[in-house]
Amino acid sequence: MSVATVLVVDDEPIVLDVVGRYLERDGHRVLAAADGEEARTLIEQEPPGLVVLDVMLPGIDGFALCRWIRSTSDIPVILLTARGEETDRIVGLELGADDYVTKPFSPRELATRVKTVLRRAAPRTAPVERIEIGELIIDAGSRLVWRNGSELRLTTREFDLLWFLATHPSRVFSRDHLMRTVWGYEPALDSGTVTVHVRRLREKIEDDPSRPRLIETVWGAGYRFRG
């Protein structure tokens, strides 16, 4: 199991306490912050392996902090959002969050999500594999992507989704299948997670995201990668 330093950011002391204890049981070292400013200071002093981040924070809110994290690093982020607030989840994913958990939540479920995200973010030790499609280069060994000679900044989940699609060209995958295979979870009631990540990938790898050439939408079925 991958273990790491995990920063938990929440203004509710009971959440910090309970989540911290569950993560420590899994062997993680836990840092805690009650607001966005404190969290940013901790990240600058000692970048954690993963951040669990509440959206509703005093001062710098979770969205602003997630935007700052993603502008400076690839640290995985799991958002804590209010139950039923689909807008919060979509906005968080648009900002580059790797996953989200709705409040109230099971601490055990959150610990499992942390484990899954860390495992996917861990460096690969397998031999380097590389896919080249025109000006797009995807390297599995380094988990880096280049387009027209410039390195792209992809989140952990964006890379996993791109690599999966690119290694299965011409096959159509439903949103539910991608959620199970790439995320490792049973599909949620909404398909917003996969949709948002596909849109973000298109903005980064397509010449014209409004008329995608690489990641096609197959209406009523899912998505297909055209190499």
CB 50 within 8 A of CB 114: yes
State pLDDT tens for residues 80-111: 987 666 777 788 888 889 998 988 889 999 99
As given in the structure block, the two tokens for residue 185 are 């979870």
| Range scoring the smallest mean pLDDT among 8-17, 123-132, 142-151, 174-183 | 123-132
The owner of tokens 């596909």 is 198
Q: CA 45, CA 6: separation in Å to the nearest integer?
A: 14
Sign of the four-CA dihedral 190, 194, 195, 197: positive
pTM: 0.66
CATH top class, domain 130-225:
mainly alpha
| CATH of segment(s) 5-121 | 3.40.50.2300
Average pLDDT over all residues of the chain:
88
Decide whether 5-121 matches 130-225 in CATH topology: no
Q: Give the pLDDT confidence score for residue 72 in this predicted structure.
A: 83
Q: CA 19, CA 28: separation in Å to the nearest integer?
A: 11
Q: CA 224, CA 208: separation in Å to the nearest integer?
A: 17
What residue segments make up the domains of the chain, in order of their start? 5-121, 130-225
Q: CA 128, CA 143: separation in Å to the nearest integer?
A: 9
**Per-residue pLDDT band at 220 (split at 50, 70, 90):** confident
State pLDDT tens for residues 37-75: 999 999 998 899 999 999 999 889 999 999 999 888 889
User: For the stretch 85-97, what's the b/e string if a residue is b when 16 or more beta carbons lie within 10 angstroms of its beta carbon?
Assistant: beebbbbbbebbb
